[in-house]
Amino acid sequence: MDASHGGTVYRIGDSGEAVAEIIGKLQRLRLLDDRPRQTFDEATAVAVRGFQQQRGLVVDGNVGPQTYRALDEARWRLGDRLLTYVPAHPLAGDDVLALQARLQELGFAVARIDGFFGPDTQRAVTEFQRNVGLPADGTCGPSTFKALDRIRPMATGGRPDALRASEAVRQAGPRLSGKTVVIDPGHGGFDYGWEGHGLRESDIAYDLAARIEGRLGATGVRAYLSRGRDQGPDELSRAAFANETAANLCVSLHADGSVNPEAQGVATYYYGADLHGAYSSVGEQFAGLVQREIVARTDLRNCRTHAKTWDLLRRTKMPAVRLEIGYVTNTHDASRLADPTFRDVVAEAIVVAIQRVYLPPEQDAATGVLRLGQLI
């Protein structure tokens, strides 16, 4: 039974076939002892939190669609199954992550280590097969697994994918004009996100997105919003939309919230996980620029940048960041978010950060000083 069906979330006290499956997967991953369990108990929740922390997911101890998919992917080891490109439903799993990491170590280009067997992974497998004298069909079966295991790099280290990503940014040139950026206002429709002090996360995100869209348009950027004012697509649909536009960058906008009214600040997230060294180098750079520009221009507390494997960050082909701009549940942050002038400041900070991704060191400016009218 697929626990992700219908967006079901499993938590302490639940039981049934799906819960038994979740427990079994945690036990196979050695995150939970082998004692028989009939229900989702506290020990199971602790194991789930450990898994989520390890995988760069939201750490809440519950199993929702994304955690369930991650548990399913974690069960595969390289060689367990035939790996091939299936356009409608690309294979995903730890075995694909291991394959991509191995190919990269051997010098065969993989756009990003993301655990999805896509066309770029198929091309890398095909090229590897040609080089070792195997039928170049792009499918990873027993003979290809043996060749991968037999051939080891003389030296390890370095990030060829990071070098390729940096070179792609350099070749795109410093000017914003002609570039494409997707702006993703979080939540929407009947999903309001966090609410507090008369504010809704979905409304803040959409208003901020519109302000960024206008400023990017003034610089010659093709800016697309991932949803309309009353729409609320899921993260997979948002990532698919961004990929269809062939955007250079993607910015996902959110506000945060907490049961603790003292929680406050701004944080920015990019794709990354320790597993097999999977992360977006340009995404990490972009996140740092966004975070520093906002912190320099506002009085929001600096909650820093963090690597995550959330769907929008992992499934977009371009560098993407997710911004959590203040807590609507905190009096200070809510007062700032309610102020249109503050939102203008944040919008300018994000546009400046987008520009700075493409500026070479000799043309870059200090954090917090570049203004919209100065953008190339």
What's the number of CA atoms in the CB half-sphere (13 Å) around residue 205? Answer: 33
pLDDT bin (cut points 50, 70, 90) of residue 97 is: very high
- CATH superfamily placement of domain 5-74: PGBD-like superfamily/PGBD (1.10.101.10)
> pLDDT digit string (tens) for 135-176?
999 999 999 999 999 987 654 555 667 777 788 888 888 899
Burial of 65-104, coded b for 16+ CB within 10 Å and e otherwise, reads: bbbbbbbbbbebebbeeebbbeeeebbbbbbbbbbbbbbb
Instruction: Name the residue ranges covered by the structural domains of the chain.
Output: 5-74, 77-154, 174-374
Residue 1 has what pLDDT? 32
pLDDT, mean over the chain: 92
Q: Does domain 77-154 fall into CATH 1.10.10.10?
A: no
CA 230 from centre of chain = 24
pTM of the model: 0.88
> pLDDT digit string (tens) for 179-235?
999 999 999 999 999 999 999 999 999 999 999 999 999 999 999 999 999 999 999
| Sequence-ordered list of residues with C-beta below 8 angstroms from that of 374, at least 6 positions apart, any chain | 365
Residue 159 has what pLDDT? 66
Residue 170 has what pLDDT? 84
Do 174-374 and 5-74 fall under one CATH topology? no
Q: What kind of fold does domain 174-374 have according to CATH?
A: Aminopeptidase (3.40.630)
> pLDDT digit string (tens) for 230-268?
999 999 999 999 999 999 999 999 999 999 999 999 999
> pLDDT digit string (tens) for 317-368?
999 999 999 999 999 999 999 999 999 999 999 999 999 999 988 788 888 8
In the chain, alpha helices (H): 17-28, 42-55, 65-74, 94-105, 119-132, 142-150, 160-172, 201-218, 235-244, 281-297, 311-315, 331-337, 340-358
